[in-house]
Amino acid sequence: MGGDSLSSHAHVIGWGKYLPQRVLKNGELSELVDTSDEWIRTRTGIRERHLVEDGETTADMAVQAARQALEVAHFNPTQVELIIVATVTPDHLFPSTACLVQDMLGATRAAAFDLSAGCTGFIYGLSVAANMLLSGAYRSALVIGAETLSSITDWTDRATCVLFGDGAGAVVLQSGENEGGVLASSLGSDGSGGDLLWLPAGGSRIPTSQRTLDERLHFIQMKGREVFRFAVKVMHDATCEVLEKAGHALGDLTLLIPHQANQRIIEAAARSLDLSPEMVYSNVEWYGNTSAASIPIALSEAAEKGRIQTGDLVVCVGFGAGLTWGAAAIRWTRPQPMLAPLRRRIVRRLYYSLARIRSRFRRLIRWLSAFGIKDGLNGGRRSKE
């Protein structure tokens, strides 16, 4: 934890992304369901998406993205004080994916929790983390969006299975006195639209049973047209609201990074904001909709490609299940990173190997001490006999 004294700014000092190796092209989907490359491209703009290999999980991808973000930030895992993982596809309902990430990174001083706000999860996470830094409670945070949507996609439903992909993106935030960083955020929700986009079973309302499996209730269900209309409206409104909160106008904006759900939604939002295509970042063509991961993946990619420079004003805006929406205005303060010296990179790689050993060692100690307690209890019982 930090020093509990108010800080003035929360800067983005590192960024990273991870897409799994396996690529699924539209043509392959047309062998699974009654669809075509032409339909998918014209209605969504998507050409291909990345999917996890068997055994690869949300936490695994989150760790890869986080490592890259730490590398850019020139940060050691032990300097991270807070980890937030935004996801609707956690490895387990509990423990949180953030705790798994904390352990795999060896971020021994970090608090960690998951955040569920659908595709808006990363914006919610960024806002929470930035405000925790501004309060002075923490000095650094890792905010990750990571999803294995392929695990909740109904591969027999052509209306949804063409849309989604897997991946992760991450940023490192650090508090500082110099101007810039996350200038403002604006979040919203409307639970009355919860059934427009949902995963019906597996929670306390409809627990898992043979019936829920037979009725395919563990997969994403969506009313696409209604989500589309909602998306275009909130992307416009949230962008204008966050700029106003930050004391800026649309004319000050350098780059809009929207949630990557559908190229038609991105273009409609750009039109309604009167922004030229060059001012709106899009990569939905290559990754599909990766939910909470889509904005940090796009942000990292834009930074890597030099589309964001020091001094630029960037707005990230998203919408998703809940219904939720949100936007964050960021004044970019980090110059293009220099590659860390080889020695430092080797040390960090060694540290990650040590983190694995540390984790196993802690499990062993816990196992041994549990043995001790059990023996004590047995001993107690025996002595009564």
Active site residues: 119, 259, 289
Binder of ligand ACO out of 67, 291, 325, 330 (CB under 6 A): 291
Return the beta strands (E) in the chain as ranges: 9-18, 22-25, 48-51, 82-86, 111-115, 140-148, 166-176, 181-189, 197-198, 221-222, 255-258, 313-320, 324-331
Least distance from ligand ACO to the Cβ atom of residue 266, Å: 10
Asked if 282 is part of the footprint of ligand ACO (rule: CB under 6 A), the reply reads no
Q: Which of 307, 253, 259 is nearest to 283 (CA)?
A: 259
**DSSP-assigned states of every residue in 222-286:** E-HHHHHHHHHHHHHHHHHHHHHHTT--GGG--EEEE--S-HHHHHHHHHHHT--GGGB---HHH
Binder of ligand ACO out of 73, 321, 328, 330 (CB under 6 A): 321
Name the burial class of residue 174, with classes exposed (0-12), middle (13-18) and buried (19+) by CB atoms within 10 angstroms of its CB: buried
CB 318 within 8 A of CB 289: no
Nearer to ligand ACO, 85 or 132 (CB): 85
Least distance from ligand ACO to the Cβ atom of residue 233, Å: 13
Asked if 35 is part of the footprint of ligand ACO (rule: CB under 6 A), the reply reads yes
Least distance from ligand ACO to the Cβ atom of residue 74, Å: 34
Instruction: Show the site string, 154-193: x = touches ligand ACO by CB under 6 A, - = not.
Output: ----xx--x-------------------------------
Asked if 289 is part of the footprint of ligand ACO (rule: CB under 6 A), the reply reads yes
Of 64-72, 135-143, 186-194, 261-269, the window that binds ligand ACO (rule: CB under 6 A) is 261-269
Least distance from ligand ACO to the Cβ atom of residue 237, Å: 16
Nearer to ligand ACO, 133 or 231 (CB): 231
Least distance from ligand ACO to the Cβ atom of residue 29, Å: 8
Q: Return the residue matching tokens 């830094």.
A: 133
Binder of ligand ACO out of 39, 113, 351, 352 (CB under 6 A): 39
| Count of positions (residues) in the chain | 385
Least distance from ligand ACO to the Cβ atom of residue 258, Å: 11
Q: Footprint of ligand ACO on residues 329-348 (CB under 6 A)?
A: none
Asked if 26 is part of the footprint of ligand ACO (rule: CB under 6 A), the reply reads no
Of 109-117, 260-268, 346-354, 363-371, the window that binds ligand ACO (rule: CB under 6 A) is 260-268
CB 219 within 8 A of CB 163: no
Least distance from ligand ACO to the Cβ atom of residue 190, Å: 14
Taking the CA atoms of residue 232, residue 332, residue 335 and residue 286 in that order, the dihedral angle to the nearest 10 degrees is: -10
**Rounded CA separation 60/63 (Å):** 5
**Rounded CA separation 168/148 (Å):** 9
**Rounded CA separation 74/334 (Å):** 12
Of 39-47, 89-97, 203-211, 370-378, the window that binds ligand ACO (rule: CB under 6 A) is 39-47
Q: Which of 112, 127, 120, 119 is nearest to 12 (CA)?
A: 127
CB 139 within 8 A of CB 7: yes
Q: Footprint of ligand ACO on residues 91-130 (CB under 6 A)?
A: 118-119
Q: Footprint of ligand ACO on residues 188-247 (CB under 6 A)?
A: 197, 220, 222, 224-225, 227-228, 231
Least distance from ligand ACO to the Cβ atom of residue 148, Å: 12
CA 93 vs CA 9, 155, 202, 238: distances in Å? 33, 23, 10, 30
Site size toward ligand ACO (CB under 6 A) is: 24
Nearer to ligand ACO, 263 or 359 (CB): 263
Query: Using alpha carbons only, what angle is made at residue 84 by residues 60 and 363, rounded to the nearest 5 degrees?
Result: 55
Query: Using alpha carbons only, what angle is made at residue 134 by residues 247 and 302, rounded to the nearest 5 degrees?
Result: 65
Q: Which residue is nearest to ligand ACO (CB)?
A: 224
Question: What angle do the packed helices 342-384 and 58-73 form, to 10 degrees?
Answer: 130
Nearer to ligand ACO, 292 or 355 (CB): 292
Rule CB under 6 A: which residues touch ligand ACO? 35, 39, 43-44, 118-119, 158-159, 162, 197, 220, 222, 224-225, 227-228, 231, 261-262, 265, 289, 291, 320-321
